[in-house]
Chain A
């Protein structure tokens, strides 16, 4: 027996028709895994929940996966595992049940929660002393502005939800690879101390969690040769002993090779010998990657050791406002014109007494991506000025947003680009403060069709 897990979403914003394409491809798999929660997504979900307490989950999942394909997935006996629940898994589950009823489909829906520890933060800090994870910002500096705090749960609650017969498992914050490891624990009854196998599940999950980024998308190696139309979403087949094969549906674009898999293995990791999750510390220097032909790659020899005794927590907090606007300047002397325009905005900020913490002028086509790492040049056909600022007052940044358009009449010549969008508007910044909490203070909860 081999368990096959397909991915059809690498983030909230991925192709809405990914599930449709996967199903149409005829590829076979037992689990469909969809990942929606980037760090920056949590802030967006919070704003949506503020406006409507029924929201706060990834609506793409309900709209494009459940509403359109639930009956088909159930018919094929595919079970769905997703973190689309975001800040509101129960509301997401309720929408799924409504759609199931409408479609006349009988499904068991489970949620995995307990990740939301917002209400316990102050008490946890008093008892355990929450420490910063990456710089010297203290909890006291962010405490008053916290909007939500989520612990990254592991895969065992996901497995427990499947053990209780769930066809659809909707989680809040779990480590992304848990969406694949959970089904494997459920199917193979892997134990909590079978670290090498748990590590294999983490590697498999890590490789597919960004969807098409492991099947040719965003690969820097010989990208010119890759077919980007209809890049196939990844499918991992994992054996009971932890051996992995990664592939994509026949007849799709993209590429599965050592290179595409190796690039995804190193994506968004720290110390490769200790990829930390609540269930295992996976060693990413252990697996061997071998091409076995036909857009299929084998990943073998995964190893892991005991996990840390803490959960990582992302504390999301309000931290002022941000605004950004653009103006396009053409040749000749495009860069010089754009720089003069930026300096006019700087002067106006000062003259009007607008409060900003920082400003940043970037010149798209010149240095916006690589800054000082890009070679200097001065003969551009055109340059897009992108001017951004952040500060404590929404009103001051709203006023700053009115400083772009007048430059078309009052600033350097051969400028355009006012019709794409209106005045730039400030947005609240939902910043993140990562920390750790002892595992003992978090209680993962599994609810099945209450």
Chain B
């Protein structure tokens, strides 16, 4: 597999699943869920920065998130923190969901497939 400077062995010209280039963990604060995603390399971080947007994460969860998703950057890891408001059906005790604390939500993001990127997208 060609590297293309990605550092993770996955070319930007190929589709990649997030868990091939990152790992993460999620948890709750009342009705807010946060999903931390940490890149395996700087190149992976840059690709996630372009493709794993707050909108992409919001779309993935659909009706599970009533509020909005904000993406924060942690270049020191490097990684991201996605914070979704009104995301747990009322949170811990009130929620009717089996996963009332969003503990498994990081796993859902890690299974996302990122499409191949064109050269223009990478140069943006």
Within 8 A of B (CB), among A10-41: 38-40
Tell me the bound Cα distance from A193 to B72 in angstroms. 27
0/1 string, A236-272, CB within 8 A of B gives 1? 0000000000000000000000010011111111111
B118 to chain A, nearest CB (A): 26
Known: A219-B23, A268-B27, A373-B108. A386 touches B36 (CB 8 A): no
* Contact status B85-A134, CB under 8 Å: yes
* Contact status B23-A285, CB under 8 Å: no
| B104 cross-chain contacts in A, Cβ below 8 A | 369-370
* Contact status B30-A371, CB under 8 Å: no
* Contact status B93-A266, CB under 8 Å: no
| B116 close to A (CB within 8 Å) | no
0/1 string, A353-368, CB within 8 A of B gives 1? 0000011101010001
0/1 string, B87-124, CB within 8 A of A gives 1? 00111111011110100111110100000000000000
What is the number of residues of chain B that contact chain A, defined by CB distance less than 8 Å? Answer: 47
* Contact status A432-B76, CB under 8 Å: no
* Contact status B94-A429, CB under 8 Å: yes
0/1 string, B13-48, CB within 8 A of A gives 1? 000000100011101111110101010000000000
What is the number of residues of chain A that contact chain B, defined by CB distance less than 8 Å? Answer: 55
* Contact status B96-A360, CB under 8 Å: yes
Binds B, one of A66-74, A163-171, A286-294, A399-407: A286-294
| B75 close to A (CB within 8 Å) | yes
B17 to chain A, nearest CB (A): 12
* Contact status A324-B90, CB under 8 Å: no
| A197 close to B (CB within 8 Å) | no
Q: Which of B63, B90, B93 has the most CB of A within 10 A?
A: B93
* Contact status B64-A373, CB under 8 Å: yes
A450 to chain B, nearest CB (A): 34
| A374 close to B (CB within 8 Å) | yes
* Contact pick for B93, options A364, A371, A373, A430, CB 8 Å: A430
* Contact pick for B92, options A371, A372, A432, CB 8 Å: A432
* Contact pick for B90, options A271, A272, A431, CB 8 Å: A431
| A358 cross-chain contacts in B, Cβ below 8 A | 96
B41 to chain A, nearest CB (A): 12
| A370 cross-chain contacts in B, Cβ below 8 A | 104-105, 107-108
Majority-rule SS of A interface residues:
mixed
Known: A135-B86, A262-B38, A432-B30. A360 touches B97 (CB 8 A): yes
* Contact status B98-A364, CB under 8 Å: yes
* Contact status B96-A263, CB under 8 Å: no
Tell me the bound Cα distance from A336 to B101 in angstroms. 27
Q: Which of B25, B32, B97 has the most CB of A within 10 A?
A: B25
Tell me the bound Cα distance from A171 to B15 in angstroms. 51
Q: Which of A262, A389, A430 has the most CB of B within 10 A?
A: A262
* Contact status B94-A266, CB under 8 Å: no
| B74 cross-chain contacts in A, Cβ below 8 A | 265-266, 272, 284-285
Known: A134-B32, A371-B61, A373-B61. A266 touches B79 (CB 8 A): yes
Known: A285-B74, A372-B64. A40 touches B79 (CB 8 A): no
* Contact pick for A218, options B25, B62, B79, CB 8 Å: B25
Q: List 18 A-B contacts (CB under 8 A).
A: A219-B23, A220-B23, A220-B24, A220-B25, A265-B74, A267-B27, A271-B83, A272-B81, A287-B76, A288-B76, A360-B89, A369-B104, A370-B108, A371-B63, A372-B63, A390-B94, A430-B93, A431-B90
Which 10 pairs of residues, A with B, have the shortest CB-CB distance?
A266-B36, A221-B23, A360-B96, A388-B96, A268-B27, A372-B62, A373-B108, A369-B104, A263-B25, A40-B92
Chain A interface residues (CB < 8 Å from chain B): 38-40, 43, 133-135, 213, 218-221, 259, 262-273, 284-289, 319, 322, 324, 358-360, 362, 364, 368-374, 386, 388-390, 429-432, 434
New contact pairs (8) apart from A133-B30, A262-B36, CB-CB < 8 Å: A134-B32, A266-B77, A270-B81, A270-B83, A272-B73, A360-B96, A360-B97, A388-B97
